[in-house]
Structure 1
């Protein structure tokens, strides 16, 4: 049973009333059973939601309302956004009588103004936090400023792109926009892409993906990583939760051994050899430097060509240079 609220301690209201209600008593609230009446912008009384004659016999009344000398309620859902909502309600004791039609009409006139106030507050707060979110994403990507950078919400919707990223999407490469969400052009690869989105969100660890051939541009290799977290999170669909890094053109930095292993299934030895080629080292020179037989290095080359699906050493070099060079933390 909730304790009485100290009259001299207004800040205690959230501790003594709101929190216990949210944590336990909301589950017994008989006034929220008729969900069809609880529509955004519609004012209702508790008498409309549940028969007053049966309220006295409910657990909600006995455990929550009666200790606070409350019986009638007037309110409504001011604004709703997905699973989030703003609700305002007034409550009073039984001896003051039920809320009247005049009370209901007054509250109905008030609701639209409250909704506009909520929308203005959300928009102003959202613009500030979105700026901080995008600045954090750009800050995290400073070391890879030559890359295409795309920012996705937790559900995979595109909500940010740098200039290179916008150009890359317009070219119609291996990723495309459908209903605001980012999807792989190839249906089979899209399943891999969607799985990776969920995995990176859950593990908070980057993944390197090979989504197949782009639009005449060879393999489509990218890195998917979690975005820096905000101290004050935005709503689910407004915050950049995932960052996609894509190399728009060959870069000076070369992908890590781990990236090449994850993208193409190379062994560590094959990946080290592929990196060496991309850094300008000749096959014979690499064999001498590593103390390997030329036949062993040629085997690495053959395996790398087969696993990456390219036809020549030159194509392999070009492919490795097209991978976004991101150092794993």
Structure 2
């Protein structure tokens, strides 16, 4: 290919490796057009790695958004790679990629060749190399570019190709990536603005009509995005929620641990049954209800590279102003005919424990605790645990 290319492109032209300046310029122009089209919604991001891999036959192209710290692959577009390998990369190999240490430490905007910075032979004994890279018919060499996206996200634009083509493809591929860097950076900036706008609209709509309780919206990392007036008042008092560095924490340590777990699950799209916490502080009893908010369609080209983050709505209600403990709740026996074991469970739940935690404290199985709770709800005429806590607070 190299000799033929030299005859076709003329001996007088400047070269980037084996490629002539005209050819590098043409590839760069096509790639810049594909990037701009995807950024403005008239094209697909899938076409961007397609243009790159087409210009360098025998290679595969990839474009992805990776948050190294959170181990989250937020976007992936590949071309000329077997779907099975793309699937396994998304599900597993992206997170054990030996090139991660180099890319996570590299400055934004850098373009590099693997053979110059970290050749694949350096990790030939790894699972990534033996089970993912090597089986793909000799694509051990690569060129790539990194651009910082937003809050820990890294956009990587890469091309892998046979080691035997390093001298032919290497310098030209890096030069092409450098020439389209500005286009990709502008596209990322536009995507950042659009994502922020979408997220702000979703967050504002979630709290605008919820005036009966404290309502606020957070990201999976606890970052505050929106809050109504009652929530702001709660933050100011610090009695139930503490805000530090724009991140929220429950004033009760056990409740905060449960809050963090539920928030992580909801933000990752993991189904969470009964995303509700009841807890006490010295200032009173509180109930927190959480729900994942709808997200914009990530298939829209102009926001898919930086897809909107999953936001979580948090509703907080004060159950009773200031009761230092749950008391003996003995009146429940006369009023609702609760048994001593049922009253014991009410006491643990009222102190802010989950059903499983209460079961552990009482020395019973979780199934037994749930059966007792069902009986309690029937006897008290309540339909869910939050209503029961509200009823108990009013009886105090």
Provide TM-score, normalisation by structure 1: 0.55
1:14-29 matches, within 5 Å, as 15-23=83-91
- Give matches, 1:277-288, under 5 Å: none
Map of 2:145 onto structure 1: 76
Q: Does 1:194 align with 2:235?
A: no
Q: Is the 8 A contact 2:143 2:170 kept in 1?
A: no
Q: How does 1:170-181 map to 2 (within 5 A)?
A: 170=236, 175-181=241-247
Please show how residues 1-329 of structure 1 align to structure 2 within 5 Å: 13=81, 15-23=83-91, 31-32=99-100, 34-35=102-103, 38-51=106-119, 54=121, 60=129, 64=133, 67-81=136-150, 84-98=153-167, 99-101=169-171, 103-136=173-206, 141=210, 145-170=211-236, 175-183=241-249, 189-198=251-260, 200-201=262-263, 204-213=274-283, 219=284, 221-230=285-294, 239-241=310-312, 243-247=314-318, 264-270=325-331, 327=387
Distance 1:267 1:11 in 2: 67
Name the SS of the counterpart of 1:123 in structure 2: helix
CA distance in structure 1 between the aligned counterparts of 2:336 and 2:146, rounded to whole angstroms: 74
Which string of whole-angstrom CA distances, capped at 9 and with x for unpartnered residues, describes residues 153-204 of structure 1? 33333222112322443456554422112346xxxx5424422423544664
Gaps of 5+ in 2: 1-57, 60-77, 266-271, 299-305, 338-346, 352-384, 390-396
Q: TM-score, normalised by structure 2?
A: 0.48
Q: Distance in 2 between matches of 1:122 and 1:193?
A: 33
Paired residue total:
251
Equivalent-residue separation in structure 2 for 1:241 and 1:191 (angstroms): 20
| Partner Cα separation in structure 1 for residue 336 and residue 79 of structure 2 | 74
- Name the residue aligned to 1:317: none
In 2, the alpha carbon distance for the partners of 1:62 and 1:172 equals 52
Per-residue CA deviation, residues 269-313 of structure 1 (Å, 9 max, x unaligned), is 5479xxxxxxxxxxxxxx9xx699xxxxxxxxxxx9xx99xxxxx
**Distance in 2 between the 1:223 and 1:200 partners?**
14
Per-residue CA deviations over 1:75-101 (Å, capped at 9, x if unaligned) read: 122234456432111233345443455
Superimposed CA distance per residue, residues 234-254 of structure 1 (whole angstroms, 9 cap, x where no aligned partner)? 99995442514145xxxxxxx
Aligned equivalents of 1:328 and 1:169: distance in 2? 26
The DSSP-based 3-state class of the residue aligned with 2:231 is: helix
Judge conservation of contact 1:25–1:64 (CA < 8 Å) in 2: no
Distance 1:100 1:238, change over 3 A: closer
Provide the rounded CA distance (Å) in 2 between the counterparts of 1:164 and 1:291: 34
- Per the TM alignment, residue 43 of structure 1 is displaced from its structure 2 partner at its CA by 1.0
Report the CA distance between 1:45 and its aligned residue.
0.6
- Structure 2 counterpart SS, 1:227: strand
| Separation (CA, whole Å) in 1 of partners of 2:194 and 2:254 | 37
Query: Equivalent residue of 1:121, what SS?
Result: helix
* 1:40–1:80 Cα contact (<8 Å) kept: no
Please give the alpha-carbon distance, in whole angstroms, between the structure 1 residues aligned to 2:101 and 2:241.
Answer: 44
SS at match of 2:86: helix
Distance 2:317 2:187 in 1: 41
Q: Runs of 4+ in structure 1 displaced over 6 angstroms?
A: 55-59, 233-237
Change (3 A) 1:240 1:267: farther
